[in-house]
Amino acid sequence: MNNSVQQTRQPVTKIFAATVKTGIIKSNLFPMFAGLTLALYTYGYGIFDKIPEVIFALIGSILIIGSAGAFNNLYDRDIDSIMDRTKNRPTVTGEISAKTALALAIVMGVLGIAALAMTTPLAALLGFLGWFFYVVPYTMWTKRRTVYNTEVGSISGAMPPLIGWAAIHPDITHPAILGLFVIQVIWQMPHFYAIAIRKHDDYKAANVPMLPVVKGIRRTYLQTNVYLVLLILTSFLFWPLSPGLTLVALLLSIGWLVLSIYGYKKMDPGKWANALFFYSLIHMTVLFSTVIIYSLVGIIFNL
Predicted local distance difference test score (pLDDT) of residue 302: 77
Q: For the chain, what's the residue count?
A: 303
The proportion of the chain whose per-residue pLDDT surpasses 90, expressed as a percent, equals 90
Q: What is the pLDDT of residues 241-300, one digit of tens each?
A: 889 999 999 999 999 999 999 999 999 999 999 999 999 999 999 999 999 999 999 998
Q: Are the CB atoms for 138 and 156 separated by under 8 Å?
A: yes
CB-count burial class (<10 Å; 0-12, 13-18, 19+) for 145: exposed
Predicted local distance difference test score (pLDDT) of residue 112: 98
Region of residue 168 (phi > 0: left; psi between -120 and 50: alpha; otherwise: beta): alpha
pLDDT at 1 over 70: no
pLDDT at 179 over 60: yes
Nearest to 175 by CA among 234, 233, 237: 237
Residues sharing a CB contact under 8 Å with residue 301, sequence separation 6 or more, in sequence order: none
Nearest to 295 by CA among 252, 242, 233, 217: 242
Predicted local distance difference test score (pLDDT) of residue 292: 96
Report the alpha-carbon distance of residue 213 to residue 301 in Å, rounded: 51
Global confidence as pTM = 0.92
Predicted local distance difference test score (pLDDT) of residue 11: 87
pLDDT average, residue stretch 171-182 = 91
Report the alpha-carbon distance of residue 121 to residue 150 in Å, rounded: 28
- Give φ, ψ of 162 to 5 degrees: -65, -40
| Alpha helix ranges (H) inside the chain | 12-20, 22-42, 51-75, 77-80, 90-93, 98-117, 121-133, 149-157, 159-168, 175-198, 200-205, 211-215, 217-234, 243-266, 269-300
pLDDT at 4 over 50: no
Predicted local distance difference test score (pLDDT) of residue 6: 43
Q: Are the CB atoms for 142 and 11 separated by under 8 Å?
A: no
Q: Are the CB atoms for 102 and 74 separated by under 8 Å?
A: yes
If you write DSSP's letter for every residue of 257-291 in order, what string do you get? HHHHHHHHHHS-HHHHHHHHHHHHHHHHHHHHHHH
* Confidence band for 132, pLDDT divided at 50, 70 and 90: very high
Predicted local distance difference test score (pLDDT) of residue 5: 42
- Count CB-CB contacts under 10 A for residue 214: 15
Residues sharing a CB contact under 8 Å with residue 293, sequence separation 6 or more, in sequence order: none
Report the alpha-carbon distance of residue 152 to residue 145 in Å, rounded: 12
Q: Give SS3 for 97.
A: coil
pLDDT average, residue stretch 85-91 = 93
* Confidence band for 195, pLDDT divided at 50, 70 and 90: very high
Report the alpha-carbon distance of residue 28 to residue 233 in Å, rounded: 23
